């Protein structure tokens, strides 16, 4: 969200450039699902820069976000920069960012409750092997019960009954084609 940090990362675009692309995509693709990677604590990142990141995340309303603390990578331009953001500040910023992205992801998932979705089955749920795990075309994870044949790689229709922080919970309706 901070043009100063984006320039330091050699991104080649501004926050407004990015936001404009998000708006265009959302106008062109109904129900577009957006995910992003976010880094906190890049060298020189001030509290004001971080606040701009939080504001950008709110404006973009990402469906999912993968958040990381900056670590220098050997051979990059950034590796030669002074890593001047204290570790405890980086950790605190990561926690604040994760709280926001968790809230936005849960909010996005809540909007799916009551809908019927077609999803691609990946396999049994890692947390509950009695349930299956699938992904919708919007890349949202959905768990459901089914006691019939092996569903690996199959398309199914599910009725979304509930949502959590990271996934949906539904009822199996039918096997698709």
3-class DSSP state of 158: strand
**Average of pLDDT values for 96-113?**
95
Residue 102: per-residue pLDDT: 94
Domains of the chain: residue spans and CATH = 3-110 (3.30.750.200), 116-175 (2.40.50.140)
Residue 31: per-residue pLDDT: 83
Neighbouring-strand partners of residue 157: 118, 174
What global pTM score does this model have?
0.84
Residue 77: per-residue pLDDT: 83
**pLDDT tens sequence across 69-88:** 999 888 888 888 888 999 99
Q: What is the mean pLDDT of the chain?
A: 94
* Backbone φ, ψ for residue 133 (5° rounding): -120, 130
For 67, the enclosing helix (H) or strand (E) is strand 64-69
Residue 66: per-residue pLDDT: 93
- Of residues 115, 122, 109, the one with CA closest to residue 150: 122
Residue 22: per-residue pLDDT: 96
Q: What percent of the chain has pLDDT over 90?
A: 81
CB contact burial 9-24 (16+ within 10 A = b; e otherwise): beeeeebeebeeebee
DSSP letter (8 states) at residue 162: E
Question: What is the rounded CA–CA span in Å between residue 47 and residue 104?
Answer: 21
Residue 72: per-residue pLDDT: 87
DSSP letter (8 states) at residue 81: S
**pLDDT tens sequence across 20-50:** 999 999 999 988 889 999 999 999 999 999 9
Task: Compute CA distances 55 → 1, 49, 101, whole Å.
Answer: 7, 10, 12
**pLDDT tens sequence across 141-163:** 999 999 888 999 999 999 999 99
Confidence of residue 65 (pLDDT cuts 50, 70, 90): very high
Vertex 36 angle, CA 136 and 97, to 5°: 115
Residue 26: per-residue pLDDT: 93
* Backbone φ, ψ for residue 112 (5° rounding): -90, -15
């Amino acid at each position: 969200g901070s043009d100063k940090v984006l320039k330091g990362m050699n991104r080649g675009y501004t926050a407004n450039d990015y936001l404009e692309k998000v708006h265009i995509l959302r106008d062109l693709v109904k129900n577009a699902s957006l995910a992003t990677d976010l880094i906190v604590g890049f060298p020189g990142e001030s509290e004001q820069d971080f606040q701009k990141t939080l504001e950008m995340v709110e404006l973009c309303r990402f469906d999912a976000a993968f958040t990381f603390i900056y670590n220098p990578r050997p051979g990059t331009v950034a590796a030669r920069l002074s890593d001047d953001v204290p570790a405890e500040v980086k950790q605190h910023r990561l926690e604040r960012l994760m709280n926001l992205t968790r809230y936005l992801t849960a909010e996005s998932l809540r909007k799916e409750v009551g809908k019927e979705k077609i999803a691609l089955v990946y396999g049994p749920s890692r947390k509950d092997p009695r349930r299956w795990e699938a992904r919708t075309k919007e890349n949202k994870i959905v768990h459901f019960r089914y006691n019939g044949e092996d569903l690996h790689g199959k398309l199914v229709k599910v009725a979304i009954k509930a949502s959590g922080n990271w996934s949906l919970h539904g009822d199996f309706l039918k096997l698709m084609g």
